[in-house]
A and B are shown apart, each in its own frame.
Chain A
Amino acid sequence: MEAYEKLFLWFSIALLALLLVALAYTSFAMHVHVPGDAGMIMVKPGQTLAGAVLTTPPFDHPGLRQLGPGRYEAVMFGQAWSFYPREIDVPAGSEVTFRATSVDVTHGFFIPGTRVNMMLIPGLISVTSYRFDKPGTYLLLCHEYCGLLHHTMNAQVVVK
């Protein structure tokens, strides 16, 4: 290899390493987390997935519950082509943990303008958290193709 090639190679490696350090820093020091392994839905023999979801806590009681001051958990599921519940209302400044799954196909769970972006995969539980500081009506979208009326699948988070 020629000197310029070597120089360019080291420059490339250094640049990429720097970018990775920045990513690691924002993720681990600033707590910007991607969804992880949050458990699964056990389907018993003879049971459908939908039946299993609706009898697995906390999905047997979908909806919003308060965990503490300013802290909420929103338990939701996606079913072609809706989210349940269809609306979540929280006060401004609330930290909301979304715990969600799907009862049929793979759906998306995405609130534009926030860091809420995850997949709902049949049989798996997805969890993410976000603090809603600004009041307003946030659109919650399915952003994974889930059949004929995929583009109509949405819900709302209303922050007051």
Chain B
Amino acid sequence: MSTPVVYRTDEFPLPDSQRNLIRWTVYLGFAALTVGVAQGLAQALNYARIDLFHYYPGMRSYYEGLTVHGVFNAIVLTFAFANGFIALTTARGLGRPLNGALLMASLGALALGSALVSIAMFSGHASVLYTFYPPLQASPAFYLGLALIVISTWITSINIFLTVARWRREHPGARIPLLAYMSMMVYVFWDISSIGVAAEVVGMLLPWSLGWSAATDPMLGRSLFWLTGHPIVYFWLLPVYVSWYAMIPRQVGSVLFSDSVARIVFLMFLLIIPIGFHHQFVDPGLSPGLKFMVAVMTFVVFIPSLLTAFSVMYSLEIGGRRAGGRGLLGWFFALPWSDPSVCAQILAMLAFLLGGITGLMNASYEMNLEIHNTAFVPGHFHMTVGAAVALSYMGIAYWLVPYFEQKRLWGARLARWQAWIYFVGVLIFARGMISGGLAGMPRRTAIALVSYPIPESWKLAGILVGVGGALMSVGAVLFFFVLFMTTFFSEPAAITDIPFTSTYVGPALEGWQPRLDRLRIWIGLAILMVAIVYGPFLVHHLPPRVVSMPFRAY
């Protein structure tokens, strides 16, 4: 007994024109990653006190490079990947095409937005880092570009929601297929989450950078940023969860156990959007009570993550045992590690265990006094977004790019090496960052250039960061090499479908389960949660305290 996570298993009528738009959306993300990785290498070596920026064409400072690294990797890559991949999984889940014009519009907004932020950053007029805290001021092109990039995700949302709505009209009373449900929830979640940064960029920073208002409110800007800035990390992660839940079980010859647990996990993320204040534990102007409440809410996020660990590991175990694995852990080694797509994503999951634990430490209220804004934090998030997410993208690309190109994957052995090298690199890198952070090494600081004497403990940490970062770069270069060879020099192959799994316990048509699909209730609750946390803050803080003039000395 098993139920597929898609509506129809027989065929997948996605027009070539739509597949091409999705393909170019994903490739735009990978193009951004090449630039982001090149900057990342120089960032990592900086911690080993090697200043490479002088040799990078057009780079004025470490901070210009860091801005490019953050914006390209954490915004352009991730948004492009989500826009492309989740559009594809929606179409596959429902077995019906999307709206081609909206796919085109989304790609257009993303490309134009990326071009604008690139112009601003590479001309040295936007070295404000990924968080762009006012009153650091970038040129209007930077804010306009960011707005367009966010708009591209909203266009993708409209496309997904219209497609799901049509499917539901055509299939009254049917449950939304799990793959489409998860895909849709990624964007429902993101749309609510993006309110904060949209309000900040369009309502405050863009008019201010155009000179329409003289001064701005740093605390309001920062708080609106983190309203989006924390949930954005789940917008990076959830497309990867789609792969771990709906594709990896199939790739390891297994099934997903429970349809409803997968839906509950995605719904839970919707209810814990307003936890961004845990990035502001050491800020003035916020009461300790609010901070502790947000710490509790942040801990709740670990429940869907732990449920995911359970569900995904259960699938892996079934697959490993079917492949002949015995004993307590034998199944783990019996998994199809020779498949680079599986190999990369299992390594990504292992990194995510460490990333999750260090994230729990970040969220631990007064523990933040020890690690806030130290290198511990990038140590943590290079194991989440830099490994769990990035390495999963790479693993997904190992079937997705062959599907786009209708070619066999070139160099499976090299692709496996690629995943291992990147994985080992990220662990060494994170070990360095975390130990440096615990010894007080600040993040976002040109360590190669500091004017004070550096403690010995930072030096060893910095060397580990440099070595790990160099290995990660080698891994990334190999990834691009495999994609390049696949695209241009591999044998043609007819790949008509994407991998998708079945659930052992499928969706029920009666009882409590259909309520999981009644989105109005859940969206209402999600907005209520945001209002409960941010309402009192806004009432206390508003009207805006416009005390700061623009600052552009970077």
Residues of A within 8 A of B (CB): 1-2, 4-5, 8-9, 12-13, 16, 19-20, 23-24, 26-27, 32-38, 40-41, 43, 48-49, 52, 80, 104-106, 108, 110, 112-113, 115-127, 139, 141-148, 150-152, 154
Contacting A at CB under 8 A, from B298-352, are: 299-300, 302-303, 306-307, 310-311
User: Assuming the A-B contacts A13-B303, A19-B360, A43-B547, are A144 and B373 also in contact, with contact meaning beta carbons closer than 8 angstroms in the complex?
Assistant: yes
A1 in contact with B261 given A143-B445, A147-B554 (CB within 8 Å) = yes
Known: A33-B288, A37-B284, A122-B548. 16 other contacts (CB 8 A): A2-B505, A5-B261, A5-B311, A8-B310, A12-B307, A36-B288, A40-B285, A49-B548, A49-B549, A105-B135, A122-B135, A123-B217, A123-B219, A143-B442, A143-B445, A145-B133
Interface contact B292-A8, CB-CB below 8 Å: no
Interchain Cβ contacts under 8 Å between A and B, 18 examples: A20-B295, A26-B366, A34-B281, A34-B291, A36-B288, A37-B287, A38-B284, A43-B547, A80-B553, A104-B135, A112-B441, A123-B217, A124-B283, A124-B284, A127-B284, A151-B445, A151-B447, A152-B451
Tally B residues with Cβ within 8 Å of A: 71
Instruction: Describe B's contact surface by its main secondary structure.
Output: mixed
Task: State which of B63, B135, B257 has its C-beta within 8 Å of the C-beta of A145.
Answer: B63
Check if B222 sits within 8 Å of A123, measured CB to CB.
no
Once the chains bind, are A148 and B554 in contact (CB under 8 Å)?
yes
- Contact present for A118 and B364 (CB under 8 Å): no
Distance of B548 from chain A, by nearest CB (Å): 5
Contacts of B306 in A (CB 8 A): 8-9, 12
CB-defined contacts of B62 to chain A, threshold 8 Å? 151
Q: Is the CB of A122 within 8 A of B258?
A: no
Query: Is A110 touching B440 in the complex (CB atoms < 8 A)?
Result: yes
B549 touches A112 (CB 8 A): no
Complex: how many Å from CA A145 to CA B280?
Answer: 15
Q: How far is the CB of A98 from chain B (nearest CB, A)?
A: 12
Count, A-B residue pairs, CB within 8 A: 199
Q: Which chain B residues (112-143) contact chain A, with CB distance < 8 Å?
A: 127, 129, 133, 135-136
B99 at the interface (CB under 8 A from A): no
Interface residue ranges of B257-283 to A (CB < 8 Å): 257-258, 260-261, 280-283
CB distance from A130 to the nearest CB of B (A): 10
CB-defined contacts of A113 to chain B, threshold 8 Å: 440
Task: Say how far B130's CB is from chain A's closest CB, in angstroms.
Answer: 10
Contact indicator A106/B222 (Cβ below 8 Å): yes
Query: Chain B: residues with CB nearer than 8 A to chain A?
Result: 61-63, 66, 127, 129, 133, 135-136, 217-219, 222, 257-258, 260-261, 280-288, 291-292, 295-296, 299-300, 302-303, 306-307, 310-311, 360, 364-370, 372-374, 439-447, 449-452, 455, 505, 545, 547-549, 551, 553-554
Q: A49 near B547 (CB under 8 angstroms)?
A: yes
**Contact A147 B136, beta carbon cutoff 8 Å:** yes
For B551, the closest partner residue in chain A by CB is A105
Pick from B284, B311, B374: contact of A35, CB under 8 Å = B284
> In the complex, what residues of A have CB within 8 A of residue B127's CB?
148
Chain B residues whose CB sits within 8 angstroms of the CB of A125 once the complex forms = 284
Residues of chain B with a CB closer than 8 A to A12's CB: 302-303, 306-307
Contact B442 A108 (CB under 8 A): yes
Which 8 pairs show the lowest CB-CB distances between chains A and B?
A112-B440, A143-B442, A126-B284, A123-B547, A143-B373, A12-B306, A152-B451, A124-B284
User: Which chain A residue lies CB-closest to B282?
Assistant: A118
Q: CB < 8 Å: which of B219, B281, B287, B373 contacts A110?
A: B373
Residues of A contacting B373 in the complex (Cβ-Cβ under 8 angstroms): 108, 110, 117, 143-144
Given contacts A38-B284, A112-B439, contact A151 B449 (CB under 8 A): yes
Report the minimum CB–CB distance from B286 to chain A (whole Å).
Answer: 6
Known A-B contacts A16-B302, A121-B222, A122-B135; A150 and B287 likewise in contact (beta carbons under 8 Å): no
CA distance A144 to B373 in the complex (A): 7
Q: How far is the CA of A50 from the CA of B454 in the complex (A)?
A: 31
> In whole Å, how far is B139's beta carbon from the nearest beta carbon of chain A?
15
